[in-house]
Amino acid sequence: MTVELTQLANGLTIATETMPHLESAALGVWVKSGARDEMQNEHGIAHLLEHMAFKGTSRRSARQIAEEIEDVGGDLNAATSVETTSYYARVLKDDVPLALDILTDILVDSRFDEVELEREQHVILQEIGAAEDTPDDIVFDHFQATAFRDQIVGRPILGTRETVKSFKPDDLRAYLARHYGPDRMIISAAGAVSHKAVVDQVSAALGSGATPAPPDTEARTPASYVGGEFRQTRDLMDAQLVLGFEGRPYYARDFYASQVLSIILGGGMSSRLFQEIRERRGLCYAIYAFHWSFSDSGIFGIHAATGEEELAELAPVIVDELIEAAHGIEESEVTRARAQMRASLLMSQESPTARAGQIARQLMFNGRIIPNEELISRLDAITAPRLADLAERIFGGSTPTLAAIGPVSRLPSADELANRFSEGRNAPVRAAAGA
| Backbone φ and ψ of 214, nearest 5° | -70, 155
**What span, in angstroms and rounded, lies between the C-alpha atoms of 360 and 225?**
27
**What span, in angstroms and rounded, lies between the C-alpha atoms of 293 and 305?**
23
3-state helix, strand, coil in the chain (%, to 5): 50, 20, 30
DSSP 262-322: HHHHHSSTTSHHIIIIIIIS---SEEEEEEEE-SS-EEEEEEEEE-HHHHHHHHHHHHHHH
**What span, in angstroms and rounded, lies between the C-alpha atoms of 122 and 128?**
10
Amino acid at 170: D
Catalytic residue (one of 42, 50, 276, 321)? 50
3-state secondary structure of 257: helix
Instruction: Give yes or no for a contact between 194 and 18, defined as CB atoms under 8 angstroms apart.
Output: yes
Instruction: Give yes or no for a contact between 312 and 417, defined as CB atoms under 8 angstroms apart.
Output: no
The reply to whether 50 belongs to the active site is yes
The residues assigned a catalytic role are 50
